[in-house]
Chain A
Amino acid sequence: MDKRLLMKDAFCFKLLDRRDFVLGAGAGALLASLVGGTRKANAVTGSEEFEAALAEILQGATPNSGGVGMDIPAAVENGDYVPIALGVESPMTAESYVRAIHLLSPANPRARVATFTFTPLSGRARVTTVMRLAKTQEVVAVAELSDGTLLMSTRSVDVKVGGCGT
């Protein structure tokens, strides 16, 4: 026990010796994020497929950060069965309604989980479903409003056991 602790200490010291480098890199990243400005309150990185799917939905536009309500547990035991509700506040009239909400996963084998399409006849832009999550990740929802506005929200979910073969 003692020996293991000592070894751990030795390992930590080794890391600490490199603290200047680590701190320097951290400061650099922070600076880059500050200088980068808009990149990004809502930058989520993920699989190539995820990046491509998100780009296809956004079509080069920058979404407003937030605005899509996401009710999803912060932690789940079983990634095969993750309840989620998505919603956007909207009058849902012919003049102003939510066209669609896209649900995306940055870390599942398939990035596009679902696209939900609404009409003024929906009355409310809200849907409840059950999704799969292969591992811990930040789930992404993008809403398209009838005036072309894009909204994007994210929620991180800690997954204990991933949805097999999702």
Chain B
Amino acid sequence: MKKPPRIKIPEGIKAGDVIEIKTLATHIMETGNRKDAAGNKIPRDIIHTFRATFEGREVFSVALGSGIAANPYFAFFLRVPGPGMLELTWIDDEGETTVEKVPLVVA
């Protein structure tokens, strides 16, 4: 990703809280259905997978198609078991994998 994804997590998290995590990636999400000026098909280039894990445990994932808008935005929830590492992964058609690790500090 040209720019790192933006991630928003609430402050003052306590164990047992269900928190909303907001993520915004930067990606063209080229559908593969468009043609360039010369009439040639522009190949598909999308983020096809987004995954969130907490301490290695699956929290939420998305299998994306080309119907997700450019710069994919996902807001989802996590029931916080305690302090630990939230890991977010985006994978696109060119095999580029972006991983962001966010330590959750729990009061």
A interface with B by C-beta (< 8 Å): 80-82, 92, 103, 105, 108-110, 112-124, 126-133, 163-166
Number of chain B interface residues as a range: 20 to 34
| Residues in chain A near residue B83, CB distance under 8 A | none
Interchain pairs with CB closer than 8 A, number? 106
Q: In whole Å, how far is A35's beta carbon from the nearest beta carbon of chain B?
A: 35
B38-61 vs A, CB cutoff 8 Å, 1 = contact: the mask equals: 000000000000000010011111
Partner of B68, one of A117, A130, A164: A130
A124-B77 contact given A105-B67, A114-B62, CB 8 Å threshold:
yes
| Residues in chain B near residue A130, CB distance under 8 A | 68-69, 72-73
CB of A108 within 8 A of CB of B67, answer: yes
Partner of A123, one of B34, B70, B74, B77: B77
Task: List the A residue with the shortest CB-CB distance to B59.
Answer: A121
Asked if B66 CB lies within 8 Å of chain A CBs, one says yes
Partner of A119, one of B59, B67, B75: B59
CB of A113 within 8 A of CB of B57, answer: no
The distance in angstroms between the C-alpha atoms of A116 and B70, with both chains bound, is 17
| Residues in chain B near residue A117, CB distance under 8 A | 58, 60-63
